[in-house]
């Protein structure tokens, strides 16, 4: 097993502390103590706490989008519904694998700040493109109408709910094993919702034929 570099130890420590205390409630000294490194090392690597935050967010989202893109490439030959289901699993699995930082980021994204706006026009726009395109391709009525937009909104809500309302899950997710169980059960719930709306779409199409 690879030993973590000092740089990665700092990022992991910051992720944990930002999750627990918020960005403004965490000092560089707190991060250095938790990572068992010298404060000067954080300045050397990241030029301070803001630089560390920007680096961690960039690392998180670049890896996240790469994971999504790989999922879509690997399922290129799948039928649209199975492709979407695989994408949903990929998203929840990634977010749960980086649980604390996922919660921190989604909490920050509820705030109106320059940081949020910058994320919205870069990584979040790309994420929205992938999810929207894959979702609409599964619908029998493929029109991007108001009703389908509401359904998309529900799906996107389910993808972020565990990380906005994480306090409601904290007693159920302890350790890697329970994280994996959570992913399996939560993804299954979203898949069942998808199956339901796809069935409804088919019934509407059938009824319109007569």
pLDDT tens by residue, 97-119: 999 899 988 888 877 667 777 77
Confidence of residue 1 (pLDDT cuts 50, 70, 90): very low
Cα gap 118→200, rounded to integer Å: 38
Topology of domain 1-47, CATH? Arc Repressor Mutant, subunit A (1.10.10)
Whole-number pLDDT of residue 22: 87
DSSP string, 3-45: PPPHHHHHHHHHHHHHHHH-STT--HHHHHHHHT--HHHHHHH
Whole-number pLDDT of residue 188: 96
Q: What is the pTM of this model?
A: 0.87
Residue predicted with more confidence, 61 or 201: 61
Whole-number pLDDT of residue 30: 93
Query: Which run of H or of E encompasses 47?
Result: none
Whole-number pLDDT of residue 4: 72
- Positive or negative torsion for Cα 53, 99, 81, 75: positive
Do residues 147 and 85 make contact, with C-beta atoms less than 8 angstroms apart? no
Topology of domain 53-208, CATH? Tetracycline Repressor; domain 2 (1.10.357)
Whole-number pLDDT of residue 165: 82
Scan for tokens 């420590």, then name that residue: 13
Residue predicted with more confidence, 142 or 191: 191
- Positive or negative torsion for Cα 160, 16, 28, 64: negative
Q: What is the mean pLDDT of residues 4-15?
A: 88
Condensed to tens digits (0 to 9), the pLDDT of residues 68-101 reads 999 999 999 999 999 999 999 999 999 999 998 9
Confidence of residue 202 (pLDDT cuts 50, 70, 90): confident
Q: In angstroms, what CA-CA distances link 150 with 37, 135, 140, 186?
A: 48, 12, 16, 21
Domains in the chain: boundaries: 1-47, 53-208
């Amino acid at each position: 097993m690879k030993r973590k570099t000092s740089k990665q130890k700092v990022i992991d420590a910051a992720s944990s502390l930002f999750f627990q205390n918020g960005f403004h409630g965490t000092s560089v000294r707190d991060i250095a103590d938790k990572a068992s490194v010298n404060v000067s090392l954080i300045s050397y690597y990241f030029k301070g706490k803001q630089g560390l935050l920007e680096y961690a967010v960039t690392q998180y989202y670049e890896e996240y989008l790469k994971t999504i893109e790989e999922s879509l490439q690997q399922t290129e030959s799948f039928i649209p519904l199975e492709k979407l289901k695989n994408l949903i699993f990929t998203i929840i699995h990634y977010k749960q694998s980086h649980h604390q930082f996922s919660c921190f980021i989604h909490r920050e994204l509820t705030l109106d700040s320059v940081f949020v706006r910058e994320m919205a026009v870069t990584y979040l726009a790309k994420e929205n493109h992938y999810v929207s395109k894959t979702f609409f391709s599964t619908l029998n009525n493929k029109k991007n109408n108001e009703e389908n937009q509401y359904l998309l909104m529900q799906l996107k809500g389910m993808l972020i709910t565990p990380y906005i309302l994480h306090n409601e899950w904290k007693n159920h997710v302890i350790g890697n094993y329970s994280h994996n169980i959570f992913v399996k059960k939560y993804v299954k719930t979203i898949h069942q919702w998808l199956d339901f709306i796809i069935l409804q779409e088919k019934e509407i199409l059938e009824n319109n034929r007569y």
